[in-house]
């Protein structure tokens, strides 16, 4: 069964550094999402993306965050200057039609 793949599985970075989290959504999917889950807390919505533009974003998704679909297969989340509180598991998801999200296994970001 096709799946959403995320790389790397674990990223360690120093505070203030830029990170790019990568996702390869399922190939025929049109809707793309990023969510995050801070350890011990609930899954939180960051951003949704359709037709090469952001559909919705949360208050968390400030100017430090950006998303891009640089080619036909990748979907990336960039954090320009990481903060300690950005440490979390970041999940990418995609869907062919709305309401049927497929999540990847996440990238664990640790900011030191």
Partner 1 sequence: TQLLEQSPQFLSIQEGENLTVYCNSSSVFSSLQWYRQEPGEGPVLLVTVVTGGEVKKLKRLTFQFGDARKDSSLHITAAQPGDTGLYLCAGDRTGTASKLTFGTGTRLQVTL
Does residue 11 bind partner 1 (CB under 8 A)? no
Does residue 58 bind partner 1 (CB under 8 A)? yes
Does residue 101 bind partner 1 (CB under 8 A)? yes
Residue choice 8, 100, 110, 112 for contact with partner 1 (CB under 8 A): 100
Does residue 38 bind partner 1 (CB under 8 A)? no
CA distances for 25 relative to 54, 57, 84, angstroms: 16, 19, 28
CB 112 within 8 A of CB 15: yes
Does residue 99 bind partner 1 (CB under 8 A)? yes
Spatial separation of the C-alpha atoms in residues 62 and 60, rounded to whole Å: 6
Residue 67 CB partners (closer than 8 Å, separation 6+): 32, 34, 47, 49, 54, 75, 76, 77, 78
Choices 11-19, 36-44, 63-71, 73-81; region in contact with partner 1 by CB under 8 A: 36-44
Nearer to partner 1, 82 or 95 (CB): 95
Does residue 91 bind partner 1 (CB under 8 A)? yes
CB 110 within 8 A of CB 11: yes
Residue choice 13, 22, 24, 50 for contact with partner 1 (CB under 8 A): 50
């Amino acid at each position: 069964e096709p799946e959403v793949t995320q790389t790397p599985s674990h990223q360690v970075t120093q505070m203030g550094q830029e990170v790019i989290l990568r996702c390869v959504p399922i190939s025929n999917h049109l809707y793309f999402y990023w969510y995050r889950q801070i350890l011990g807390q609930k899954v939180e919505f960051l951003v949704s993306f359709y037709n090469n533009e952001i559909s919705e974003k949360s208050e968390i998704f400030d100017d430090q965050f950006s998303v891009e679909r640089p080619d036909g297969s990748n979907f990336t989340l960039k954090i320009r200057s990481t903060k300690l509180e950005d440490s979390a598991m970041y999940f990418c998801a995609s869907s062919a039609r709305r309401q049927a999200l497929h999540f990847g296994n996440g990238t664990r970001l640790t900011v030191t």
